[in-house]
Amino acid sequence: MDLGDNAAALALVERGIAANPIEKDAVDGPGPIETLARVAAGIGEPDRAIATLQKLLSIPGSLTPALLRLDPMFDPLRNDPRFQKLCAEPNK
């Protein structure tokens, strides 16, 4: 779903990641990264969304394959074989 300025949405998410990097905050740092994955999926940037999801799945206590399978925000990625593989992998 595209509601407006995609570049501005991505820039805002990137600012959030820069303001609270995961390297400095392991608890809250994954949140903005997950938001980036959701925004990228929603605006039709599957490569960016999947790369971001791969990173998230490598972070313990973050997003899980089960949540990916259930979350409707990732519906735009459902038919992508790379996304299907992420949903099938056990959390690392």
pLDDT means per 10 residues, the chain with 92 residues, are 72 83 78 91 94 91 89 96 89 48
- Is residue 45 a contact partner of residue 70, using CB atoms and an 8 Å limit? no
Q: Which of 74, 76, 45 lies closest to 57 in space, CA to CA? A: 74
- Is residue 73 a contact partner of residue 38, using CB atoms and an 8 Å limit? yes
Q: How many Å apart are CA 35 and CA 16, to the nearest integer?
A: 9
Structure token pair of residue 12: 């805002």
Please report the pLDDT score of residue 71 as a whole number.
Answer: 95
Please report the pLDDT score of residue 92 as a whole number.
Answer: 47
**How is the chain split into domains, by residue range?**
6-88
Please report the pLDDT score of residue 90 as a whole number.
Answer: 66
Please report the pLDDT score of residue 3 as a whole number.
Answer: 56
Please report the pLDDT score of residue 18 as a whole number.
Answer: 82
Q: How many Å apart are CA 70 and CA 50, to the nearest integer?
A: 16
